[in-house]
Amino acid sequence: MQPTDALARFRDRLSLPLIAAPMFLVSGVELVVAACRNGVIGSFPTVNCRSPEQLDQWLTDIDDRLKEHSDASGKPAAPVCANLIVHRSNARLEQDLQVLLHHRPEMVITSVGSPAPVLKPLRDAGALVFADVASIRHAERAAAAGADGLVLLTAGAGGQTGWLNPFVFVRAVRAFFDGPLVLAGGIADGHALRAAEALGCDLAYMGTKFIATWESMADARYKEMLAASSADDILLTKAFTGLLTNMLRPSIEAAGLDPDDLPERGAIDIGKDIDIGARENRPKRWKDVWSAGHSVSGVTEVLSVDEMVARTAAEYRNAATRLRLS
């Protein structure tokens, strides 16, 4: 018996099997709307909103603008996907959950913990619940908890990341999970997106390239740094969060720190002002030290979401042609 296609409800609304990844302080209303209008699932962390009230306003604005788009174009937009931090440190978890239940999202991604506590209410509201995982053990636990889909954080993903090779990770999880898989890490173009499908994934994250779009909330200097950087400029470190995190070396240097001489584990708190001795130019909050994935090598300029998705779609078609000719 063939497994049910969990994505069937909105698969025909996607121009690409792609999610604009939820990115801290980067993903906002403009980026989500632009992605969804272009047939890409638009996601954002609920903690990007200052309060549950702002989260409610964001979701209302997004829904209204996408409805206008659908009415004008005659084509329904791709789904909106909220990213919910389920770790106990998120003091707003219950409040944000209630806002999501009110808006009845089609898809929610849980992060930093088991999806179990939020699965039933979100499912009752009609949402598919995906859990992001960074190891095979985490994937097994999320699957056992009943997650509808899994986001596999592999080596090369921006921000807090996994460490497993994507070829190994995807195939290992496919051995015990037949639901939707999302590959996160290293998706720089349509060729990589096609490769993710060949591995056995249904969707993929694209994050770093969406940071370098006009619609993202990222600082203009951040976008310019991405365009000027390559994968060699990515540093994997625990210094800022205590967890493995891919950061831009040039941003660490610009903040007055030495990328080659950082504390080993979570000693630099960029969630608040920090003291690094006599240096005047010290990092203050996440706005000063920036993350990116290995796919930064695919960022060469700042584009609109329209342009970036169109190029990715052309690459995706070209990759399919090459496969047919081989």
User: What CA–CA distance (Å, rounded) separates 167 from 154?
Assistant: 9
Q: Same domain, yes or no, for 135 and 266? A: no
Q: Same domain, yes or no, for 204 and 281? A: no
Q: Same domain, yes or no, for 30 and 170? A: yes
- Residue 100: inside a domain, yes or no? yes
- Residue 189: inside a domain, yes or no? yes
Residue 153 · residue 109 · CB < 8 Å? no
Q: How many domains are contained in the chain? A: 2
pLDDT of residue 160: 83
- Residue 297: inside a domain, yes or no? no
pLDDT of residue 282: 44
Range of the domain at 138: 12-216+302-325
Q: Same domain, yes or no, for 42 and 190? A: yes
Largest Cα–Cα distance in the chain? 67
pLDDT of residue 276: 30
Q: Same domain, yes or no, for 269 and 208? A: no
- Residue 94: inside a domain, yes or no? yes
User: What CA–CA distance (Å, rounded) separates 157 from 133?
Assistant: 12
Q: Same domain, yes or no, for 47 and 147? A: yes
Tokens 């069937």 correspond to what residue?
Answer: 8
Overall residue count recorded for the chain in this entry: 326
Residue 146 · residue 178 · CB < 8 Å? no
Locate the DSSP E strands across 190-280: 203-206, 234-237, 245-248
Q: Same domain, yes or no, for 32 and 135? A: yes
Query: pTM for the full model?
Result: 0.92
User: Shortest CA distance to 227 belongs to which of 305, 300, 307, 303?
Assistant: 300
- Residue 257: inside a domain, yes or no? yes
- Residue 142: inside a domain, yes or no? yes
Q: What is the mean pLDDT of each run of 10 residues along the chain (326 residues)?
A: 78 97 96 98 97 98 96 93 94 96 97 94 97 96 97 92 94 97 96 96 97 97 97 92 89 91 66 36 60 95 98 94 69
User: Shortest CA distance to 186 belongs to which of 131, 236, 231, 241?
Assistant: 231
What is the three-class DSSP state of 12? Answer: helix
Q: Same domain, yes or no, for 100 and 234? A: no
Q: Same domain, yes or no, for 267 and 315? A: no
Q: Same domain, yes or no, for 87 and 196? A: yes
